[in-house]
Amino acid sequence: MHGLHRIEADPIDLLRTRTSAKWRSYDPEVLPLPVAEMDYPLAEPIAAALHRAIDRSDTGYNAGPEAVAHAFAGFAATRFGWEVDPARVTCTADVSMGLVEVLRRVISPGDRVVVTSPIYPPFFDLVTEAGGVVEEIPLLGGIRDGWSLDLLAIEAAFASGVRAMLLCNPHNPTGWVPARDDLAPLADLAAAFDATIVSDEVHGPLAQPGSPYTPFLTVSDAAREHGVAVTAATKAFNIAGLKAALIITASERGDRLRDALPYEVSWRMSQFGSIATVAAFTDGGPWLDGVLGSLDDNRRLLADLLAEELPGVGYRMPDATYLAWLDLAALGWGDDPAATALERAKVALMSGPTFGAEVGRGHARLNFACSPEVLGEAITRLADAT
């Protein structure tokens, strides 16, 4: 699938010299596996592009979206078969900021916005920041059978006046990759009720080859008319600190939405973010393939480790992302087992209830974009703490 090529994680001693959130939020004895940062070395084309920028003192204002938009269009066409019109791309600092700005254009203060829990915790805050009210509609299914959208509940929400939905495609924290058959009826519902689907697709490049992700704007005419995609190179290429993201539309309705964005939105993209993003989308493919191979190894290793050392823990191997959604209820560690894991095992996980109070109870999210040794040590520590 990936050949033999792998990108290996940096040694733990080198990782502990990093100053990013993952490595500065906990005491040194803690294995930090909550924050969505990867332990792999930066892709060489990105590092080289940034070094060249430093050498020419290229640290002024970013010149606009053109270079990023064209680089992404090439990447999207090659990897996803997605034809993106670079003229229909607006850039900003990060995906969360893009989601908020799009929501502000499509809702009025007090309007409800659907989020599908368990969901990336900032989604709840982004809706509020945009002036909306969260309408939480949990995914159907679960770790045992897999997940799906509750289309009947979403239809009822749209029928009752909900104006927008935040879609996470692929889904964080479950790693579920919605198929075209999941997304097409959602687009039809948005068209029927004149709602907008705002799709966070930042994990799209991290879908495994056997489970390719479907960009929402490729699904149908209804999706192109009523969808807005927000994405970035930041998750797949581990450059979140460099601040660059893309807001993409595929219809005249979408064009009007982007045209209505405040002038400053596009000036928020950083110069280094732009430079790194162009390098990632243009020359980062081989590195990304190596990372996907390592993540494939680790998602399977995690299944083996849990079966051996923590057989009561529920885990469904994710088809995308480097995040594992774990049902730890069997350990008896209460509603928020991440707190117990940190206290007893010195393993930092992301708190399950923050992904949705009800559906997250007894759960936690684990980041497996690390070395096999760190992953093994983490599971051993958790097992020893039971």
Mean pLDDT of 97-103: 98
CATH 3.90.1150.10 holds for 12-41+285-384: yes
Would the pLDDT of 314 be above 70?
Answer: yes
Alpha carbon distance 13, 261 (integer Å): 44
Mean pLDDT of 138-152: 97
Helix (H, G, I), strand (E, B) or coil at 275: helix
**Domain map (residue ranges) of the chain:** 12-41+285-384, 48-283
Protein fold of 48-283: Aspartate Aminotransferase; domain 2 (3.40.640)
Would the pLDDT of 304 be above 60?
Answer: yes
Q: How large is the C-alpha radius of gyration of the chain?
A: 20
What is the pLDDT, as a whole number, of residue 4?
Answer: 67
Would the pLDDT of 2 be above 90?
Answer: no
Global pTM?
Answer: 0.97
The fraction of the chain above a pLDDT of 90, given in percent, is 99
Alpha carbon distance 204, 265 (integer Å): 23
Is 354:245 a contact under the CB 8 Å cutoff?
Answer: no
What is the pLDDT, as a whole number, of residue 3?
Answer: 55
Mean pLDDT of 88-115: 98
**pLDDT per residue as tens digits for the range 156-210:** 999 999 999 999 999 999 999 999 999 999 999 999 999 999 999 999 999 999 9
Query: What is the chain's mean pLDDT, rounded?
Result: 97
What is the pLDDT, as a whole number, of residue 72?
Answer: 98
**pLDDT per residue as tens digits for the range 30-43:** 999 999 999 999 99
Question: Are 12-41+285-384 and 48-283 the same fold in CATH?
Answer: no
Please return the burial class of 28, using the count of CB atoms within 10 Å of its CB with bins 0-12, 13-18 and 19+.
exposed
Angle at 265 between CA 195 and CA 158, to 5 degrees: 10
**If we measure between CA atoms, which residue out of 166, 161, 188, 20 comes closest to residue 96?**
166
Alpha carbon distance 181, 237 (integer Å): 29
Alpha carbon distance 170, 214 (integer Å): 9
Would the pLDDT of 1 be above 80?
Answer: no
Helix (H, G, I), strand (E, B) or coil at 199: strand
